[in-house]
Amino acid sequence: MNTYDHEQATPGRATGAPGATPAHRLGDSTLAVRAGLPEPVKNEPTLPGPVFAAHFHLPGDVEGPYTYGRDTNPTWTLLERAVGELEAPGQEVDTVVFASGMAAISAVLLSQAHTGDTVVLPDDGYQALPLLRDQLEAYGIHVRTAPTAGEAQLAALDGARLLWIETPSNPGLDVCDVRCLVDAAHAGGTLVAVDNTLATPLGQRPLELGADFSVASGTKGLTGHGDLLLGYVVCRDRQLAARVRQWRKIVGAIPGPMEAWLAHRSLSTLRLRVERQWANALSVAEALAGRPDVSGLRYPGLPADPAHTTATRQMRGYGSVVSFTLPDRAHAERFMTALHLVEDATSFGGVRSTAERRGRWGGDAVPEGFIRFSAGAEDAEDLVADVLRALDRAGHHH
């Protein structure tokens, strides 16, 4: 048997994990280390290496799963099965991987919405969403926006084709009740997509909360090493998935086999990584909570956080990102310079802590002193000590 043979009619469509029936669902650590692995074959590796192929042998009629490298690739197939198993254990879902998170987001919005349709976006989501909004409007698609907090998007749903949710939102870390929004959207015939980048599938499972699409950047916590870009879309409905897959084919926004393989390899440590990173984020947030120089502290895992109740109901972990505000831009810049164990870089979810003064990009409605902090997998004592020392230095600059 060929290592890549499996019974799926469509590459990327898969039924949960082996043995992961709801009756005895596997734990997250087990799911993560086994996600997407093919059936063992004597003398073959556990996770077959990347398949570098622009085309596949194809004598005669066009048949079989692998024909041309823009349409399908065996390395994607295994990764797609893995992501599907993590996003929706035990459910039959379709997963489509993309070259980046934005490729995945654009694929859903541009393949599902047509001229004259209405789409509802968050007004406090990832900073490239406004660029996408311009593109949607250029195609004659109406766009309404509303904040994430307080399910404010409910008021904008009427007659919409698609509701786009980002929870927790980046970088403000507001949370909305997905099930409540899904119920209202579905009652009016509106599809729902959730950006699950920040939580990762181990932190939140949008399809289990009723969403039609779970979409994410795999560049962040999913793969966690800051060495690749990736995106994915998971959905239950075959027809919706077929349009997303068709979009990938016509736009060609495909991941390279090397990136897909590295991503799959990284998934085996997902549970270990998020466990440490979420714990470190909470430690940092708790340390920041006692500081007079810190305002606007947000972390859904803090009991006093406005998002805590909703997050606790629908999330399985609160994520690795903490946000807070220092008195002004110069103070924030001094803080960033004084950090030793935290890299000044954008992105989040990596095993090495990163932070940035978010206002430097100009795309988010945040104060000049706003810091987006992503906790890595360092020892908590080292990380907290570095942050507190940098805060002290930033405050004593005279």
User: Buried (b) or exposed (e) across 54-74, using 16+ Cβ within 10 A?
Assistant: eebeeeeeeeebbeebebbbb
- According to the binding rule CB under 6 A, does residue 317 interact with ligand PLP? no
Give the shortest CB-59-to-ligand PLP separation in angstroms: 38
The four Cα atoms 296, 300, 304, 310 give a dihedral, to 10 degrees, of 130
Residues 6+ apart with CB under 8 A from 243: 111, 112
Longest alpha-carbon distance in the chain: 78
How many chain residues are in contact with ligand PLP, going by CB under 6 A? 14
Structural contact between residues 320 and 372, judged by C-beta atoms closer than 8 angstroms: no
Give the shortest CB-253-to-ligand PLP separation in angstroms: 10
Instruction: Lay out the site mask for ligand PLP across 209-238 (x = CB under 6 A, - = otherwise).
Output: --------x-x---------x-x-------
- According to the binding rule CB under 6 A, does residue 170 interact with ligand PLP? yes
Of 72 and 100, CB closest to ligand PLP = 100
Structural contact between residues 163 and 181, judged by C-beta atoms closer than 8 angstroms: yes
Instruction: Give the strand pairing for 162-166 and 142-146.
Output: unpaired
CA distances (Å), origin 41, targets 4, 75, 332 = 10, 16, 55
Residues paired with 57 in a beta bridge: none
Give the shortest CB-320-to-ligand PLP separation in angstroms: 12
Give the shortest CB-128-to-ligand PLP separation in angstroms: 6
Of 101 and 206, CB closest to ligand PLP = 101
Instruction: Lay out the site mask for ligand PLP across 176-205 (x = CB under 6 A, - = otherwise).
Output: -------------------x-xx-------
First-last CA distance in the chain: 71
Instruction: Lay out the site mask for ligand PLP across 120-149 (x = CB under 6 A, - = otherwise).
Output: ------x-----------------------
- According to the binding rule CB under 6 A, does residue 356 interact with ligand PLP? no
Among the listed residues 73, 75, 100, 153, the single contact to ligand PLP using CB under 6 A: 100
Instruction: Give the strand pairing for 142-146 and 118-122.
Output: parallel
Give the shortest CB-330-to-ligand PLP separation in angstroms: 26
DSSP letter, residue 293: T
CA 173 distance to own-chain centroid = 14
Give the shortest CB-195-to-ligand PLP separation in angstroms: 5
- According to the binding rule CB under 6 A, does residue 350 interact with ligand PLP? no
Of 132 and 390, CB closest to ligand PLP = 132
> Under the rule (CB under 6 A), what is the footprint of ligand PLP?
100-102, 105, 126, 166, 170, 195, 197-198, 217, 219, 229, 231
